[in-house]
A and B are shown apart, each in its own frame.
Chain A
Amino acid sequence: MSKTISQFDWLTIFIYILLVTIGWVNIYSASLDDTATSFFDTSQIYGKQFMWIMLSIFLIVILLSLEAKFYERFSSVIYIFSLISILGLFFFGKTINGATSWYVFGGFSIQPAEFAKVATALALSKFVSDIQTNIQNIGDQFKALVIIALPALIILPQPDAGSAMVYAAFFFPLYREGLSGVYLLAGSLGILVFVMTLVFSPVWVSIGATVMVILSYFFRKKKRPGAIAYLSILLMAVAISFSVDYVFENVFEQRHRDRFNIVLGKEVDNRGIGYNTNQSEIAIGSGSWFGKGWTEGTQTKGNFVPEQHTDYIFSTVGEEWGFVGSTVVVLLFVFLILRIIHLAERQKSQFNRVYGYSVAGILFVHFFVNIGMVIGVFPTVGIPLPFFSYGGSGLWAFTILLFIFIKLDADRMSFW
């Protein structure tokens, strides 16, 4: 055991501890009110979070004590159990804030969708690392897609679009394992066409696409796809553009349209749908270089930013710790994700690598979507900031996600 301890990647663990601690400090500030008694009062939000953090230590010990092979071996069982747990929500779930995503046991509630990400990562790693699987094979690609999409599709109607969206993160391990770059290119072009259509009209996007395609056709290198391929890409782009326009105007509800329009700067509505983003920007913007100091944030104290201790926790960092503090947090996340990618790359086992990439991808999507939303560069999508946002399920799920990988990494040498 002592040998294994020295093999844990203590740098990752250190960043984890930093993030959880900083997170709690900010939750304390965001949820502080006049009735405050002690730091650990479990009737208070910060007290509860403190309890979750303490229980995480217990959880970590268990996770690291289990045999590394356990995770690979039982991945299918865990995945199926997880699917059942999110399916069960349709029958036994409790609705909180409009989403039926919770099981309630006594005073505690659990959000199984948070844990489903871990299960999916394990199942996908198991599938991709199978000796039989070739990810360049269309059939296997489809099977992988089913593994990923199944939990996402179950979560989507609960409704929890944010959590469902996170499953896009599994593109990263698949790409790493040999998925064709065409998907990446097509995805990127699709997103580009989508955004452009919202900013400009489909007609202009079509004209632009035509010009681009013609130019790249004539400047193509030798032995590249022929004219038909270019033509089909152009047709796809035009088709997407017009259908996006149609979907946006006729299928989306106004609240969806608003979220996009606000980020694109096409609409300013600081009282209604834009309120959250506007208040959060005011809070962050008023922090200046060094912030207003811990528990001194006027926006935070005034509860101007909704959901501040959960999805908008980063606005407290911005207001009370300023540019310096928010830079530290952003860099910690960036380093953590880069470190995980680095660790994943050094794995000899494909299972470990796929899993590592899944962890990095999931953390990245959460990081990107959450902070992007809080600082107003991404539409409002409600997903938590890993290790930061208040919530036992979220904290535990991310802890499990990360520490399974730390265990796998520590065990990499003895794998074969």
Chain B
Amino acid sequence: MRKILLYLIVITSGLIFLARLFYLQVLDDSFVGRSENNAIKVVYDYPQRGFIFDRHGELLVSNQPSYDVMVIPRNLKPFDTTELCNILSITPEQLVSRLDKAKIYSPRLPSVVIPQLTKSEYAYLGEKMRNYEGFYIQKRSLRDYYTENGANVLGYITEVNQRIVNENPYYLSGDLIGKQGVEGYYEELLRGIKGVKYIQKDRFNRDIGAYKDGIYDTLPKKGKDLTITIDAELQKYGELLMENKRGGIIAIEPATGEILAMVTAPNYDPAELVGRQRSANFTKLYYDTIAKPLYDRALLAEYPPGSPFKVVNALIGLQEGIVNTHERFSCHGGYFYGRGRKMGCHPHASPLDMVPGIAQSCNAYFANVYRRIIEKYPTPQEGVDTWANHLKSFGLGDYLGSDLSTGRPGKIPTSKYYNAIYNYPTYKWFSTATISNAIGQGEVLMTPIQLANMTAAIANRGWFYTPHILKEIDGNPIKIKEFTEKKYTTIDAKHFDPVIEGMHQVYKAGTASALQIPGIEIAGKTGTAENFTRINGKRVQLTDHSIFVAFAPVDNPKIAMAVFVENGYWGGRYAGRIAGLMIEKYLKGEVTRTDMEKWILTHSLEEEYAKPYSGEPFRINQ
């Protein structure tokens, strides 16, 4: 025993140590992560966000440096609050509440105290902030706008919210992300890929060099420069014409499906959503629930299309073979259907065949055509579904699938829809119940971009490219299948000529004959859509929407467009004039109808928009 005691103790101790080491080093994995949290700092290197150019290569959006005042609450030392508040020009209450918020987010991670200082503000602050431990200034890159237009087209960038951080591991709190428009849809192209640097820290949290000499570090990759299809001049002109009005304009190049202009009114200057005032401006725009400047009417507003819809009904009629171009329908101040019900019409010559029917926009003509389409089939269900399928081939009644970060499907009613509302088969319904579809009222709803795309499909005599906003990536034309493959409508090309002739006559001698632009042949269609709102729960009719669709030149269409002006009364009044002016501007590069331009610029609809909110009885359509 005396000889072996120390042996035993030494061996036992050795075994205990080995067991403990085995536990620490092999069994328990938690130490590895703790070691990395402890000793390695990850620093991100943010790449330059891609620039955005218009279709002619004009720079629209670039970057500018910006500076955020950041705080790491754990590192704070007592400081002179009043002095700091003066430097940052905020109130002590604001400072305290932001520091509290930062502490709640994380005592160890940086939070933003003052976002997006400009260069000159930074020059003033940079030196002074060094005296405040726990605060530092983080350089970021913000957007710099060379245009005051197209805020809805371009979108904006904003700090990521917690939900995005949770869902997408690429983003960290405080990172910027594109929202809406091109910035939103092409975020991954524009943002590039941020670089990572691993930095070895010592126990005082000081950097002591690159971790493993930087073998895990990556360089940032610059974002891609995008050329978009927008014509900046046309966009600017469209926004000018829409001042003091509400509505949306879409202009498309029919041969390519490229969106030339996408105007929503009212709008805002994209630069408003950059810099220190961003938050205040955004709140102001966000809470304007009457004019809704953040609401992209060109993409989201679902309006009844009104008379331009008659053109597709004529095409469907020809395709279904239930009408020919020579057959005349008479109009007795409207169309009478069953038990004395009547769809009114305005005064014009009667009877009319197809071309003047379109040119004069005769309701009775299209009511007849529509009934024949539906009644061609044994049941109205089959009739409506056949009709709806033709319409869907024009991109109506569903999302268009464009590269715009938002959109609406509009509505094309089907038998299922009518069966539901009329409680079929308990009650039956017939073509006359849906007769408003003949003239683009009733259940049909379309967004301006759908209407413009429909017009482009007519201009192309039966096909279209899905409208899109992206033209080139880093100077290379896009090869995205969705946008480079023709989509054919269900209407044969031969049926388009008489309809287009009708639209041409609209301009030559019909409802838009006042728009004459010297040297340009336009095919168009006016629309006047009844619309309603609710005031104190009561359905109240408002002044009609002014609608116009057009493409030009008739023989070789370069531009197809749809214009909606809310409560602008009849189609030729506002929408027609705006369309005419934009077409001239685009095709000629200048405007000769200065009389028409002057009229638009001096007429405001603000008074009209104020009516429902006045609280007093008002008259419409005056």
A115 to B24, CA, bound (A): 35
A29 to B72, CA, bound (A): 32
Contact with B along A374-397 (1 / 0, CB 8 A): 011100000000000000000000
A181 to B39, CA, bound (A): 50
B17: which A residues are within 8 A, CB to CB? 330, 371-372, 375, 377
Q: In the complex, how many residues of chain B place their beta carbon closer than 8 angstroms to a beta carbon of chain A?
A: 38
A175: which B residues are within 8 A, CB to CB? 2, 5
A296: which B residues are within 8 A, CB to CB? 212
Q: A175-B2, A176-B3, A357-B6 are in contact. Are A286 and B32 (CB under 8 A)?
A: yes
Q: A364-B9, A364-B10 are in contact. Are A285 and B18 (CB under 8 A)?
A: no
B10: which A residues are within 8 A, CB to CB? 334, 337-338, 341, 360, 364
CB distance from A237 to the nearest CB of B (A): 23
Would B39 and A176 count as touching, CB distance under 8 A?
no
CB distance from A154 to the nearest CB of B (A): 27
Q: In the complex, how many residues of chain A place their beta carbon closer than 8 angstroms to a beta carbon of chain B?
A: 50
**Restricting to B464-506, which residues have a CB under 8 Å from any CB of A?**
none
Q: Of A298, A304, A322, A371, which contacts B211 at CB under 8 A?
A: A298
A372: which B residues are within 8 A, CB to CB? 13, 17
- Give the interface segment out of A121-129, A143-151, A276-284: A276-284
By beta carbon, the residue of chain B nearest A304 is B203
Q: Is B34 an interface residue (CB 8 A)?
A: yes
A298: which B residues are within 8 A, CB to CB? 35-36, 38-40, 200, 211
A375 to B24, CA, bound (A): 8
Would B20 and A288 count as touching, CB distance under 8 A?
no
**Restricting to A324-365, which residues have a CB under 8 Å from any CB of B?**
326-327, 330-331, 333-334, 337-338, 341, 345, 357, 360-361, 364
By beta carbon, the residue of chain A nearest B198 is A298
Would A302 and B25 count as touching, CB distance under 8 A?
no
B16: which A residues are within 8 A, CB to CB? 377
A361: which B residues are within 8 A, CB to CB? 6
Q: Is A303 an interface residue (CB 8 A)?
A: yes
CB distance from B8 to the nearest CB of A (A): 11
A304 to B35, CA, bound (A): 10
Q: A281-B31, A289-B25, A361-B6 are in contact. Are A304 and B38 (CB under 8 A)?
A: yes
Instruction: Give the secondary structure class of A's interface.
Output: helix
Q: Is B201 an interface residue (CB 8 A)?
A: yes
Q: Is B26 an interface residue (CB 8 A)?
A: yes
Would B25 and A287 count as touching, CB distance under 8 A?
yes
B32: which A residues are within 8 A, CB to CB? 285-286, 288
A377: which B residues are within 8 A, CB to CB? 16-17, 20
Q: Is A253 an interface residue (CB 8 A)?
A: no
Contact with A along B10-24 (1 / 0, CB 8 A): 110110111011101
Would A323 and B25 count as touching, CB distance under 8 A?
yes
Q: Is B209 an interface residue (CB 8 A)?
A: yes
By beta carbon, the residue of chain B nearest A330 is B17
Q: Of B1, B31, B202, B212, which contacts A304 at CB under 8 A?
A: B202
B7: which A residues are within 8 A, CB to CB? 338, 341
Q: Is B168 an interface residue (CB 8 A)?
A: no
By beta carbon, the residue of chain A nearest B9 is A364
**Restricting to B194-223, which residues have a CB under 8 Å from any CB of A?**
200-203, 208-209, 211-212
A327 to B22, CA, bound (A): 9
Q: A301-B208, A303-B203 are in contact. Are A333 and B6 (CB under 8 A)?
A: no
Give residues in A with beta carbon < 8 Å to B. Answer: 33-34, 172, 175-176, 178, 181, 184, 279, 281-289, 296, 298-299, 301-304, 318-319, 322-323, 326-327, 330-331, 333-334, 337-338, 341, 345, 357, 360-361, 364, 367-368, 371-372, 375-377
Give residues in B with beta carbon < 8 Å to A. Answer: 1-3, 5-7, 9-11, 13-14, 16-18, 20-22, 24-26, 28, 30-32, 34-36, 38-40, 200-203, 208-209, 211-212
14 pairs, CB–CB < 8 Å, chain A vs chain B: A282-B34, A286-B32, A298-B36, A298-B39, A298-B211, A299-B39, A304-B203, A318-B21, A319-B35, A323-B26, A326-B21, A337-B6, A361-B6, A364-B13
